[in-house]
Structure formats: C-alpha cells, structure tokens
Amino acid sequence: MESPFRSDVLKNRVALITGGGSGIGLEIATQLARHGAQVAVMGRRSDVLDKAVAALQTQGLTAAGFEGDVRKQEDAARVVAATVERFGKLDILVNNAGGNFLASAEDLTPNGFRTVVDIDTVGTYIMCHEALKYLKKGAPGRSDTSTGGLIINISATLQYTAAWYQIHLSAAKSGVDSITRSLALEWGADYDIRVNGIAPGPIRDTTAMTKLAAEKMDTEFGGLMPLVKFGEKWDVAMAAVYLASDAGKYVNGATMIVDGGFWLSRPRHVPKEEVKALAKAIEKKVNKTSAVVSSSKL
C-alpha cells in the first residue's frame, strides 16, 4: 500500500524498535526507515535479527540489529548506547517487545503471569529509563537541541474491557498505558519528550494472532467488527509514522487505538431489520398520538 506521508518525513531521525525482528515491530522499523529514519532493531534471537536487518538493507534502508533482553537493565543500557554510537543520537524509541499466550486464570501460574508483565510492563519502563538521557532536549548528538525525542509504547485493547484467557496481558498492558501517561506528564514537562501509545486490534499475519486462534476469530467474530475485517501490520506502522512526524508534534500522553472499532463491538441481540420494523411501528404510534393531541386542542 502506498504511504500517505512523504518519503523524507522522518529524514535525519534515529529510531530504536524493541521486538523489531519480526511481526509488527519489523513493519514499524521498515516504515520508519522508508520514510527517512535510520533504524536499530533489538531482540533476543540473533538469527531473527540478522534476517530482519538483511531484509531492510536489501531495500536500501539504513538498519542495524542489537541482541538483548528488555527485562535486563544491562542489556537495555548496552543496546541504547550501541544505537547512539552507531548513528550518533536517538530520536525515537518504540517499545514493541511483548509476550502473550492463551491461559485461563485458574490454570495460569504466577510465573507465567510474571513473565508477561516482566516483558511488557517492566521491560517497557527499563527501556524508557535507559533511553532518557539520549532523548531529552539538549542531549548530546541531537541535531535540534530545542526539542526532545519521542517514545511509542505498543499496547493493546483487551484491558479496556475484559478478555477471555488474557488476564496476564490485560494487567501488563494496563501498566504500559499508565507508563505512557505518567511519562508524558513528567518527561513532557521536564524534557520536552512526547510519550504516546498505539493499541493494535486483531492484525493479520502476526505470531500473536496465530497463537490466539485467528482462524476461529475470523469465522466467529468477524461479523462483530465494525469494519468487518482484520487490520494489517501496515496500519499500525502508519500510526507510528504519524506520531513520529511533525503531524503528531502536539500529541502527547495519548494511546491511539488501531483496531477498526473492534474493542467497541457487541453482539447484535436483535437483527437490524427487526430494529427497523420496531422503530417504524413506534414512530407510527407516536405520530398518531401527536395527531390526536393536536385535534383535541383545536
């Protein structure tokens, strides 16, 4: 799909994307790079990182890969420093690394719960903490010392209501949303750093959807979605490009929901045609009553 943004809209920007070796993270890295940014991708598996960087470079994009675990502060510090050493600065941090699986609350072990929270919530904070000194306005290497950088935290929509077998991710992403708002307040005021989130809905061709039985969702729940279709990784990446561009320069502390309205969906307990018929009958009755009242006044 053709981008609505200019190809140089992120020229001279440097971005670091955690979990950037595959899925949504790789698409975000790709689109940021296609729009002029230099990108670094971080992940735990060197083979995945190597393949991702090779794919980016094959497209003529500037990219580097750094192995590391977002749960480990020493890894976070090393990767952030390596990104700055490689590209001279850091403008954008995208916290995309995450973990998830289906499990009922009664069968989910505390260790399983803790693992998801550690990756999604604690890992997000660790990366933000280590990136701060490079993102704040006036940081060494920043070409524009009058402004700070940008943090984008990838969230979800499950925690806005409730979701079956997702207590661990719902808790973790609630924490991510809170981190987004708190840092937007503090670091926006102190360092001119914008902190925003993106909450993707069901996105095709991702590992997460494979784990969460996408085929079943497609057949059973597709009709509940207002746009009646699943999203693409490109949709999420375009939201990231918008937030990273000057078009999003006044957006701070917001989490953009990119799900076609799916989180708002509810089953239609009454078919649409029955609703129409009922509405017509009520309208006819109201009109008849109004006519009677008007006649009595005359």
Q: What is the pLDDT of residues 165-178, one digit of tens each?
A: 999 999 999 999 99
Of the listed ranges 7-21, 128-142, 167-181, 272-286, the least confidently predicted one is 272-286
Q: How many residues does the chain have?
A: 298
Mean pLDDT score of the chain: 88
- Which helix (H) or strand (E) segment is 167 a member of? helix 167-191
Q: Is the pTM of this model over 0.75?
A: yes
Q: What is the pLDDT of residues 183-242, one digit of tens each?
A: 999 999 999 999 999 999 888 777 665 655 555 555 555 555 565 577 899 999 999 999
Binning pLDDT at 50, 70 and 90, where does residue 142 land? Answer: confident
Of the listed ranges 53-62, 115-124, 242-251, 261-270, the least confidently predicted one is 261-270
In sequence order, the 6+-apart residues with CB closer than 8 A to the CB of 53 are 41, 63, 64, 65
pLDDT given for residue 257 in this prediction:
96
- Which helix (H) or strand (E) segment is 164 a member of? none
pLDDT given for residue 220 in this prediction:
52
